[in-house]
Structure 1
Amino acid sequence: MGWLKKAELCVGCKEKKTRRILEGKPVCAYCQLKVKAYREGVRNCPVDGTAMEKHAKYDFIIDKCPTCNGVWLDAGEMDIIEGVVIAAVAERSFAAH
């Protein structure tokens, strides 16, 4: 991934301006995450074998089983979730004072 000098419209969603480059094209963070999810391929649920659905959230991808509602996180994704939660709690605490 590279960076543009000037923000351009994302070729994926055509809504957000971005400086990110993916394969020579401007792509926002969310669309870049969707590309990553697509390239990962389908995982089957370790509990019931059903093909899991991919959900792009923040900077990670959650694989969720539509049958049993179980979730699968890749290495490091729990740390990202914890960071998001800690930041949200800190922001809420700061706003309350």
Structure 2
Amino acid sequence: MKIYVRSEESVTVIDKSKKDWEMNGRKGTAYKAICHMKKGDEVSVDEVRITEEVYRTMKPMTRYFLAGDLDVKNGRFEVDEAVEDKSTK
């Protein structure tokens, strides 16, 4: 089952990565964004899977609101929409 989720607070995208992979005769490309979020004294840095379209439009060191599908069975979240947070400029 997949659930569509959206972030309530914006996160800073530190950088993004693109990596080719091959496993059991299958090939593909994995796109990821390294995100930073600070809430009070708590800081977290996480890698998030993103789509190729989001990869092309995303700029490092920019704040975004993220939205995408959470695959409940596999525990994976893939961002298919990133909206720049204009209020922090």
Give the TM-score, by structure 1 length: 0.24
Larger CA Rg, structure 1 vs 2? 1
Report the TM-score when normalising by structure 2: 0.25
Q: Please identify which structure carries the higher helix content.
A: 1
Higher strand fraction (1 or 2): 2
